[in-house]
């Protein structure tokens, strides 16, 4: 399919081919699903909402609920205020959510709809019932990426819910980043095992990985509650996991309530997980239990036992910036050489972080933000790699160049399990080691001649 990709690269300023990202509303919609009894609302055309829902449905293999203002030509000319008021009236009458989380689209942003004023007028008119909430985030698709949209909606949660209700509570806030429901559950498990009370927001565990019980629940049992979100204004500390997706929410809590905010990498791999646990220990004074240290020891054991299979292997990594930074560090710790590292999300911070990680191990690595898979493929055609790590869209490059491929990040549309098995923490690290080693050994078995294929590694 990609056999005609040229090797010679040309610097492109305004054109992206096969971008390593998607648009803001998808991230905002996903974040909104992390609030208990919340209905995300797309303020734009019906087609936009349908695309965003279907893309998330394909990734999570779960039905994605969302409503839309259903813009037509009239709304495009005269504005969407009437559409949003009517939508809110229908939503609360028919679906009775506790929260409606409004995100904008290209069309409503271009028109310039003033969402706060529309929501205020709707509340004054009695359209929004007492005790119900409407929050909003501006998410124009032509700026940033789905990670930016997630960050903007997480920021809206902190800005529009958090309150100071008294003395500081003995709890911390954790903004987990654009990760799987399984990752959010693993972060909560780690904190629970350490005896730390925490508000994790957003939290899509038990929403997009809810068990099959035979009975339909329009609003699953999971998600962070409104009361928990309100209490974040009294917490001792906010941990933002992944600066691109999570830092904005922490900044709001720091600015409004003087709650310290510590920005950490996503706890993917041993180094980033160590830093997360050490940071929690520094704030709470708690110690990780023996069972958690045993998990760490098992991960170290897997890494050292199989070091000979990883050492010196050239790797290419692409995807969301927070994921890619932590994965790059983990591959380096495994003894591999991440020679190509790209993200579709703009921001020089990404390039600085990755180059710092690889300064000693791979000083000549090619690192680029706001790039695309076309350029990554060109690099690989010129100088091949032994492993490709990224989302489903990398499968075409992997097939064209015959490269072992590990699916990691968002979206993963052609496999299952990523929503149920974590990649964060020590247990997530063990899973990643198994996945990476598996594809490398499958290639070794495939390419070895009959006389040298081994039954035992």
CA dihedral of 375, 380, 381, 386, whole degrees rounded to 10: -160
Query: Mean pLDDT in the chain?
Result: 95
Instruction: Please state the rounded mean pLDDT for residues 133-141.
Output: 96
Tokens coding 142:
């032509």
**pLDDT tens, 394-451?**
999 999 999 999 999 999 999 999 999 999 999 999 999 999 999 999 999 999 998 8
Tokens coding 164:
């100071």
Is-contact 424 187, C-beta < 8 A?
Answer: yes
Report the candidate in 334, 327, 328, 268 with the shortest Cα–Cα distance to residue 307. 334
Percent of the chain with pLDDT over 90: 86
Report the candidate in 114, 130, 156, 328 with the shortest Cα–Cα distance to residue 249. 156
pLDDT band at 13 (very low <50, low <70, confident <90, very high): confident
Q: Where are the domains of the chain?
A: 24-143, 172-290, 293-447
Instruction: Please state the rounded mean pLDDT for residues 34-52.
Output: 95
Percent of the chain with pLDDT over 70: 99
Instruction: Please state the rounded mean pLDDT for residues 24-28.
Output: 97
- The DSSP output letter for 43 is E
Phi, psi of 451, rounded to the nearest 5 degrees: -75, -15
Task: Return the SS3 of 341.
Answer: strand
Q: Does domain 172-290 have CATH number 3.40.50.1980?
A: yes
**pLDDT tens, 232-257?**
999 999 999 999 999 999 999 999 99
CA dihedral of 262, 267, 271, 277, whole degrees rounded to 10: 60
pLDDT band at 10 (very low <50, low <70, confident <90, very high): confident
> What architecture does CATH give domain 24-143?
3-Layer(aba) Sandwich (3.40)
pLDDT band at 168 (very low <50, low <70, confident <90, very high): low
What pTM was computed for the model? 0.95
Model pLDDT, residue 1: 63
Indicate the burial class of 382 (C-beta count within 10 angstroms; 0-12, 13-18, 19 or more). Answer: exposed
Of 69-73, 257-261, 440-444, give the lowest mean pLDDT range: 69-73
Report the candidate in 174, 178, 238, 227 with the shortest Cα–Cα distance to residue 37. 227
Is 90 exceeded by the pLDDT of residue 96?
yes
Give the pairing type, strands 261-264 and 237-241: parallel
Element (H, E) at 23: none
Kindly report the number of other CB atoms within 10 A of residue 63's CB atom.
11
**How many residues are listed for the chain in this entry?**
457
**pLDDT tens, 350-402?**
999 999 999 999 999 999 999 999 999 999 999 999 999 999 999 999 999 99
Among left, alpha and beta (phi > 0; psi -120 to 50; other), residue 425 is left
Report the candidate in 268, 249, 250, 52 with the shortest Cα–Cα distance to residue 141. 52
CATH topology of domain 293-447: Rossmann fold (3.40.50)
Is 90 exceeded by the pLDDT of residue 301?
yes
**pLDDT tens, 329-346?**
999 999 999 999 999 998
Model pLDDT, residue 77: 77
């Amino acid at each position: 399919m990609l056999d005609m990709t040229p090797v010679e690269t040309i610097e492109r300023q305004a054109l992206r081919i096969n971008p390593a990202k998607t648009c803001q509303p998808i991230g905002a919609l996903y974040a909104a699903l992390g609030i208990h009894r919340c209905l995300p609302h797309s303020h734009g055309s019906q087609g936009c909402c349908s695309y965003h829902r279907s893309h998330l449905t394909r990734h999570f293999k779960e039905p994605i609920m969302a409503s839309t203002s259903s813009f037509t030509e009239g709304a495009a000319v005269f504005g969407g205020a009437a559409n949003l008021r009517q939508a809110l009236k229908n939503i609360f009458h028919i679906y009775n959510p506790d929260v409606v989380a409004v995100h904008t689209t290209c069309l409503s942003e271009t028109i310039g709809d003033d969402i706060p004023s529309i929501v205020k007028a709707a509340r004054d008119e009695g359209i929004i019932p007492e005790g119900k909430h409407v929050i909003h985030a501006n998410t124009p698709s032509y700026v940033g990426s789905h990670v930016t949209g997630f960050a903007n909606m997480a920021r809206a949660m902190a800005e529009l819910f958090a309150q100071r209700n008294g003395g500081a509570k003995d709890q911390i806030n954790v903004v987990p980043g654009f990760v799987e429901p399984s990752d959010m559950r693993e972060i909560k498990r780690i904190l629970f095992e350490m005896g730390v009370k925490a508000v994790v927001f957003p939290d899509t565990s038990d929403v997009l990985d809810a068990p099959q019980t035979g009975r339909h629940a329009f609003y699953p049992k999971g998600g962070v509650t409104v009361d928990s979100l309100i209490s974040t204004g009294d917490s001792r500390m906010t941990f933002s996991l992944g600066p691109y997706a999570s830092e904005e929410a922490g900044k709001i809590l720091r600015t409004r309530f003087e709650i310290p905010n510590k920005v950490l990498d996503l706890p993917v791999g041993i180094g980033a997980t160590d830093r997360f646990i050490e940071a929690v220990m520094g704030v709470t004074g708690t110690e990780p239990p023996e069972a958690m240290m045993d998990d760490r020891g098992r991960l170290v054991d897997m890494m050292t036992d199989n070091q000979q299979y990883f050492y010196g292997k050239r790797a290419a990594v692409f995807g969301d910036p927070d994921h890619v930074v932590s994965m790059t560090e983990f591959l380096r710790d495994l003894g591999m050489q991440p020679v190509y590292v790209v993200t579709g999300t703009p921001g020089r911070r990404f390039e600085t972080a990755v180059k710092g990680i690889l300064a000693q191990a791979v000083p000549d690595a090619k690192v680029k933000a706001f790039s695309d898979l076309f350029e990554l493929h060109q690099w690989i055609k010129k100088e091949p790699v032994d492993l490709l790590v990224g989302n489903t869209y990398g499968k075409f490059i992997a097939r064209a160049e015959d490269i072992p491929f590990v699916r990691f990040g968002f979206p993963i549309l052609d496999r299952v399990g990523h929503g149920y098995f974590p990649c964060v923490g020590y247990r997530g690290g063990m899973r990643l080691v198994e996945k990476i080693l598996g594809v490398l050994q499958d290639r070794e078995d495939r390419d070895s001649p009959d006389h040298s294929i081994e039954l035992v590694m």
